[in-house]
Structure 1
Amino acid sequence: MKTVSVNDILTSNVNLFTFVSGDRNLTVNNISTPEQMEEQSLVFISKPEHIAHCFSKKPKVVISPPQLLNLFNMPVSFTLLTAENFKSALNAVLPLFDDKHEKFNYQIHPSAIISTNVILGKNVKIGPFSYIGENVTIGDNTIVGPNCVIERKATIGNSSILHASIYLGSHCEIGSHCEVHPHTSIGSDGFGYYTDQNYHHHKIPQIGKVVIEDRVEIGSNCCFDRATITETRIKKGSKIDNLCHFAHNCSLGENSLIAAGFFVAGSTHLGHRFTTGGNSVVSTHLNICDGVTLAGRSTVTNDVVEAGQYGGYPLQKIKDALKTISSLTKLVEMRKQLSKIIATLNIKE
C-alpha cells in the first residue's frame, strides 16, 4: 500500500472529514478492519463495541462517525477523525492507499502490435503482447493491459481500463471511465443457427456489434455476444460481476447491478436499475420494466411489467416466493399427512 498522511485524508474531501485530535502530519501505510485491527494502521470504527480495541491494539489513525465521539476516552493516543457519511469516507480514503494501478508502469510496450491508422489519445498505455487492429480509436488516459486483442474499427473512450486478456471485437465500442476485468469477451459471435431437414445446423452470420456505454464496470470471465444485425447494448452506470453472459441483441438499462453468474438469453431487454442476485436467468425475447429486483437463483420466463422485488421459479413477488421456498421443505411431511387424511376418510383415487 502507499504511504498516506493525515493531511492527505483531510484534503481529499474538505467537506467530509473533521480533525478531532492528534497529528495532522502523521503518516500511515496500512489499513485494517475493526475485527482484525493491527498496530500502526488506519481503521474505520462504526460500532461502539469496536472502540475498546483501539486502546489495546494501538492503531495510528481512527476514523469514526461523530455520533460515537463521546464514547472515546479523551485524550486518546491515536489521531482521531470523524466523518458523517461513512461510505463516502471509505470511498475517499481507500483510493489513497491503492497502488495496484501502478503495475501499468509503461506507455506503449515494445512487444505490443499497433496496426495502421490507429488513433491513440494522450497518455494511452498498451501492455505487453497486446494487439491493436486497423482503424481502432483509443481515448485519452486509457489503459490496455497485457495480452489484449482490440480488433479493427473498435473504439474505446477516455480514462477506461482494460485489464489483462480482454477481447474487444471489430466495430464494438467501450465508453469512457469503464473498467473491464481479465478474460472478458466483448463482441464474440451470437449463438444463432437454423436447422435444415437433415438436422444439420447452419450458422447465421452475426454482423452487429456490442456497445458498452460510459461508467460501466465488468467483472472477469464475462461474455457479451454481438448482435445479429443491430447491437447488444449495456447502458451507462451499470456494474456487472464475474461469470455473466449477455446473449445477442440484448440490452441492459442504466445504473443496473448484476451479481455473479447471471445469464440472459437473446433479444431480451432489461430496464433501468435492474438488479439481480447471483445465478439468476432471464429467458429469450422478454421485456423487463424499469426498477425490477430479482432474488438470487430466480428464473424469468415471461415479461415483467411492474416494478418491484421478485424471486423463485416460476417467478413470484418476493413475499410469495419466500413463502413458496419455505413450503418446499415441508412437502414430504405434508404428503404424509395428506395420505393419512385420505386413508382416514377412505377416499379412493
Structure 2
Amino acid sequence: MSHSEKKSFELQELAKLTNTKLEGDPRHRIVGVADLSHASSDEASFLGHPRYEKKVKDSRAGVIIIRPDAPRITAHNFLLTDDPYGTFQKVVELVYADQVETTGFEGIHPTAVIHPTAKVGEDVAIGPHVVIDKGARIGKGTEIRSGAMIGLEAVIGEDCMIHSHVVIKERCTLGDRVLIQPGTIIGVCGYGFKQDQQGRHQKLHHYGIVEIHDDVEIGPNAMIARARFHKTVIGEGTKIDGLVEIGHNVQIGKHCIIVGQSVVAGSTKLGDYIMIGSNVAIDGHLDIASGAMIRAFSGVTKSIKGPGAYGGFPTQGLAQNNRMDVLLRNIGKHVERIKELEKRVLELESGK
C-alpha cells in the first residue's frame, strides 16, 4: 500500500488525538506505521516491552511510542503514554482510517439466493452466491460475504460480519456485532455415535442449536457443534481463534480467549475470563473455573476448580508443572546418579 493512500499527521496533531505527551519535533510528519526494526523516518512505532529497548537504538522510526519511565536511548521523537500498545493501535486506526473498504460489492448481489420467507433488515449487504434459507432473519447493518450459507430459521443480529464461505446451520442464533471469519461452520451435527452389539457405530442425530452472544469473534475454519437437544453457548465477548473445535453442548462464558487448534470436548463448561493457549485439549464433561489460564499444548483431563495458571499433561498448577519439566530435563543425570549409587551399595554389601 502506498503512502499516498494513507492519511498523514504532524506529531503535534498525533499527540493531541492520542492524548499523549510529545518529546521532539512537533512538525515532523507521520504517514505510516511499522515495527521498530522496519519503521522508516515517516512511520510510527512503539516499545511494548523492555526486552526490545536495544531495537530502539537502531530504529529509524519517525516517532516511537513509549512509557514515560522508559530510557531515552537515542535522540528520537517520542510519544509518552502509560499504554504504548493501545496508543499505537489508535495511531494505526488513524493512519488507515480511509482503508476500511475491503470489497467492491454493495447491497444485495443479484446472484444471492434468498428464500421468500427470509427477513432481511435495513442496510444489509449480501455478496455474490450467498444462500439464505427459509425463515432466516438478518439484522440491520449486517454484511454477509460471498458464498456464505445461512440455514433454515437461523437468526443473525445487527452489525454482524459474516465472511466468505461461512456456514451457519439451521436454527442457530447470533447476537449483535458478531464477526465470523472465512470457512467457519456454526451448528454442525455433534460427533456422537452409539455402538451396537456387532461393534458398528450408529449416528446420534443432534437437534439442538448453537447460541452465540454479542461481540463474539470466531476465526477461520473453526467448528462449533450444535447441542444434541438444548444448546451450545458462546458467551458475550469471547474470542475464538482459527481451527478451534467446540464440541456439542459446550457452555463457554463471557470474554474468554481460545487460541488456535485447541479443542473443547462435549458438555464441558467454561466460566468467564478464561484464557486457553494454542493446541490445548480439554476433555468432555468438565468444569473450568472462571479466571483459569491454561498454557499451550496442555491436556485437561479433570475439572479446574479455581482461577490461576495451569499447564502440562495431565494439567496441574503451572508452578508445579514447571518444576516437573525441570526434573524431566535432568532425568538422564538422575538415572546415572542412581546407577552410581547402586554400584556403591553393591560394593559395600560385598565388602569391597
TM-score by length of 1: 0.86
- Structure 1 Cα separation of the partners of residues 123 and 164 of structure 2: 18
- Structure 1 Cα separation of the partners of residues 276 and 227 of structure 2: 23
Note the alpha carbon deviations across 1:227-277, whole angstroms, 9 max, x for none: 000011110111111211100000111111111111111110011111111
Per the alignment, residue 86 of structure 1 pairs with 84
Say which SS state the counterpart of residue 334 (structure 1) adopts.
helix
- Structure 2 Cα separation of the partners of residues 294 and 72 of structure 1: 39
- Structure 2 Cα separation of the partners of residues 97 and 141 of structure 1: 25
Bigger mean CA offset, 133-142 vs 13-22: 13-22
- Structure 1 Cα separation of the partners of residues 339 and 14 of structure 2: 72
> Retained in 2: the 8 A contact 1:16–1:85?
no
Q: Does 1:31 align with 2:33?
A: yes
Say which SS state the counterpart of residue 158 (structure 2) adopts.
coil
- Deviation of 1:27 after TM superposition, in Å, equals 6.4
For 2:205, the aligned partner's letter is: P
Q: Percent identity?
A: 26
Task: Report the aligned-residue RMSD.
Answer: 2.8
- Superposed counterparts of 1:99-178, under 5 Å: 101-106=100-105, 107-178=107-178
Say which SS state the counterpart of residue 345 (structure 1) adopts.
helix
For 2:26, the aligned partner's letter is: G
Bigger mean CA offset, 185-194 vs 198-207: 198-207
Q: Does 1:16 align with 2:19?
A: yes
Classify 1:158/1:134 alpha carbon distance in 2 versus 1 (closer, same or farther; 3 Å): same
- Structure 1 Cα separation of the partners of residues 6 and 134 of structure 2: 42
Say which SS state the counterpart of residue 293 (structure 1) adopts.
strand
> Retained in 2: the 8 A contact 1:10–1:18?
no
- Structure 1 Cα separation of the partners of residues 233 and 16 of structure 2: 35
- Structure 1 Cα separation of the partners of residues 12 and 313 of structure 2: 48
Per the alignment, residue 6 of structure 1 pairs with 9
- Structure 1 Cα separation of the partners of residues 58 and 330 of structure 2: 45
For 2:281, the aligned partner's letter is: V
Bigger mean CA offset, 41-50 vs 132-141: 41-50
Q: Does 1:41 align with 2:43?
A: yes
Classify 1:308/1:333 alpha carbon distance in 2 versus 1 (closer, same or farther; 3 Å): same
- Deviation of 1:13 after TM superposition, in Å, equals 7.8
Say which SS state the counterpart of residue 328 (structure 1) adopts.
helix
Unaligned stretches of 5+ in structure 1? none
- Structure 2 Cα separation of the partners of residues 288 and 236 of structure 1: 17
Bigger mean CA offset, 235-244 vs 103-112: 103-112
For 1:86, the aligned partner's letter is: P
TM-score by length of 2: 0.86
Classify 1:337/1:53 alpha carbon distance in 2 versus 1 (closer, same or farther; 3 Å): closer
- Deviation of 1:296 after TM superposition, in Å, equals 1.1
Q: Does 1:266 align with 2:269?
A: no
User: Would you say how many aligned residue pairs link Structure 1 and Structure 2?
Assistant: 338
Per the alignment, residue 245 of structure 2 pairs with 245
Classify 1:10/1:120 alpha carbon distance in 2 versus 1 (closer, same or farther; 3 Å): farther
